[in-house]
Amino acid sequence: MMRDPLLPGSVVAALPGASLQKACRFLVVFCALHLSITLIYYVSERELNIFQYFTEHHYSTSSSSPLAASTVQSTTRPHSTTAKEMVELLDCPETSPLLVGPLRIEFSHPVDLEEVKKNNPNVREGGRYKPKDCNARQKVALIIPFRKRDEHLKYWLLYLHPMLQKQQLDYGVYVINQDGDSTFNRAKLLNIGYVESLKEYDYNCFVFSDVDLIPMDDKNIYKCSSQPRHLSVSMDKFGFGLPYNQYFGGVSALSKEQFEKINGFPNSYWGWGGEDDDIYNRIVSRGMSISRPDAVTGKCRMIRHDRDAKNDPNPQRFDLIAHTRHTMNSDGINSLSYKVVKTEKYPLYTKITVDVGASPR
């Protein structure tokens, strides 16, 4: 009998030649079958995992391909996924793909708000909007201090709604209307806007905008940064520059944390001037700095107008801004008192009329 070097001697000795061949063939076929079944399982598992990996991880963190993102959003995921999970949205890209850059801004034609509403069909009552195809990165309350500037407000709504949508923000527009004829108090109205908007939605960013300032470039994003942000940095009335380095007037954006850190804005500036310098002092004294877009992106137009009644320059403003560091602890969001007179929901904005009291002078 021949000895097979591959089989144990005892087995070889016990089997005749033909049976041995049969047994070997059977063994080979069995092994091949086992191997192929294992391989099929392995490959199909891998494909499923790769598919899941791409749908769940890759596209959701990718910020540069909005087209890919929206395609994946409409793709049905593996059958184990629940219906609720299927409508879960991915984060909007870091930079919106809808931005176009410079905008044509002019104030020569009258504005029809019905028309503006028609052109912004996705804006919901009260001036609320959020993107349908992705999760906005910030929830932004736009707060406008207001009294008797209806014509300016129309231009603001005309130009800002399309821009804010292109910026893919989850936003709401709040016009804080000072009731009565007492001296105007811009900063107090802004504080009220902060408190009132938070009662309605979980906003985490607050853009405070004068009603007569319109950005000229949609890349000037109306959202918050790691530092308080000044957005109206290049106004036409100042020859497209800053009037002075510390200027923080016009349009600014503060996150909830930044706003709380400075105890909000002062309530004690009645009449024109100084309240924006006080806000600047608050920011710096709490160890923060001002972030700004560049002078081209930050270009904006102001609607020309005369000085308003009951908003004369405040003679106390220089004295007040000299003491911000001391007063800011007790004058701000922690000392704010007012009464809401009425809240009106319009198709393009929420108007909150408030009684702010009167100047002690």
Is residue 236 part of the annotated active site? The answer reads: no
The reply to whether 66 sits near ligand UDH by the rule CB under 6 A is no
What are 127's two structure tokens?
A: 């001036």
Smallest Cα–Cα separation from 175: which of 155, 160, 190? 190
DSSP assignment letter at 55? I
Q: Decide: is 154 part of the binding site for ligand UDH (CB under 6 A).
A: no
Examine the residue annotation and report whether 4 is marked as an active-site residue of this protein: no
211 scored as a contact of ligand UDH (CB under 6 A): yes
- Give the nearer residue to ligand NGS in terms of CB position, either 54 or 240: 240
Identify the DSSP state of 308: P
Cβ proximity to ligand UDH: between 69 and 348 the closer is 348
> Active site residue: 275, 277, 278, 331, which one?
275
34's CB contacts (< 8 A; 6+ apart) are: none
Q: List the end-to-end C-alpha distance of the chain, in Å, as a whole number.
A: 123
- As given in the structure block, the two tokens for residue 333 are 């969001």
Name the β-bridge partners of 230: 252
Q: How far is the CB of 73 from ligand UDH (least distance, A)?
A: 39
Comparing CB distances to ligand UDH, the nearer of 170 and 212 is 212
Can you read off the two tokens belonging to residue 347? 């198709």
Q: Which does residue 271 bind out of ligand NGS, ligand UDH, none, counting CB within 5 to 8 angstroms by kind?
A: none
Q: Which of ligand NGS, ligand UDH, none binds 278 (CB below 5-8 Å, type-dependent)?
A: none
Nearest to 130 by CA among 121, 117, 139, 141: 139
- Touching ligand UDH, residues 287-326 (CB under 6 A): 306-308, 311
SS (H, E, C) 259-287: HHHCCCCCCCCCCECCHHHHHHHHHHHCC
Locus of tokens 């009565």: 180
> Torsion over CA of 239, 245, 246 and 250, rounded to 10 degrees?
20
Tell me the helices (H) and strands (E) count for the chain, helix number first: 12, 11
- What's the closest the beta carbon of residue 318 comes to ligand NGS, in angstroms? 6
Shortest distance in whole angstroms from residue 131 CB to ligand UDH: 27
- The token pair at 64 is 């540069």
* Active-site residue, 302 included: yes
Annotated active-site residue in 151, 260, 302, 355: 302
**Is residue 212 a contact residue for ligand NGS (CB under 6 A)?**
no
Site map 312..331 versus ligand NGS, x via CB under 6 A: -----xx--x----------
Query: β-pairing, 213-215 with 229-230?
Result: unpaired
Task: Report the residue number, 90 or 207, with the smaller CB distance to ligand UDH.
Answer: 207
Backbone torsions φ then ψ of 70, nearest 5 degrees: -70, -30
The reply to whether 150 belongs to the active site is: no
Point out the catalytic residue in the list 25, 46, 58, 305: 305
Candidates 243, 308, 323, 325; binder of ligand NGS (CB under 6 A) is: 243
Using the minimum distance from each CB to ligand UDH, give the nearer residue, 168 or 220.
220
Structure tokens, 184: 């105007």
Instruction: Report the DSSP beta bridge partners of residue 352.
Output: 176, 343
In the list ligand UDH, ligand NGS, none, the entry touching 243 (Cβ below 5 to 8 angstroms by class) is: ligand NGS
Active site residues: 210, 212, 272, 275-276, 302, 305, 307
In the complex, the residues that contact ligand UDH under the rule CB under 6 A are 144-149, 184, 186, 210-212, 272, 306-308, 311
In the complex, the residues that contact ligand NGS under the rule CB under 6 A are 243, 249, 273-274, 276-277, 317-318, 321
